[in-house]
Amino acid sequence: MNVNNKVQNTHINPQLRDLHGALLEIVGVMNRPQRDEAMVREAGISLDRALFPLLVLVERLGPIGVVELADRVGRDYTTVSRQVAKLESLGLVDRQASASDRRIRAAVVTESGKAMTDRVDAARDRMGQAIFATWDARDVADLVRLMRKFANDIQGEAPTAPESRG
């Protein structure tokens, strides 16, 4: 394993434990049903909380196949398939043949679905503003930069410079 000289080896174990603990707390909060319900209420939309994260992921990552979507949310493929069908029946997503594999019907957000996720984004912004109200702007910028770097690295991606992202 390649050791990065920027990290002090003597301190990494306690730091990783603290990082892991913080991530468990963040994931625990983010996975609470009450959190999704609060987001739906704040956005002023009517959508079952089980469908809410799927719609957001389809909008962010689509076109996306049901298998990949199920993997990302940690749910069974058949459950997610039924939920995507429900989103389709509500006019929030469409399913189309995948460009890379015609056997896969990938979900894409519709105009109505995008309008709904735009309302969610506005609600997320209001909720985030409240969380970061007492933070220094530099601390928020550092958090965003480091979380992006961590997300890239944990997925095995090479970090990219902010100006090269689309």
CA dist., res. 28 & res. 34, Å (int): 11
The pair of structure tokens assigned to 35 is 């959190």
pLDDT digits (tens, 9 = 90+) for 34-89: 888 888 888 888 888 889 889 999 999 989 999 999 999 888 999 999 999 999 99
Q: Kindly indicate whether the domain formed by 9-157 is annotated with CATH number 3.40.50.720.
A: no
pLDDT digits (tens, 9 = 90+) for 81-90: 999 999 999 9
Length of the chain: 166
CA dist., res. 113 & res. 76, Å (int): 23
Confidence of residue 164 (pLDDT cuts 50, 70, 90): very low
3-state helix, strand, coil in the chain (%, to 5): 65, 5, 30
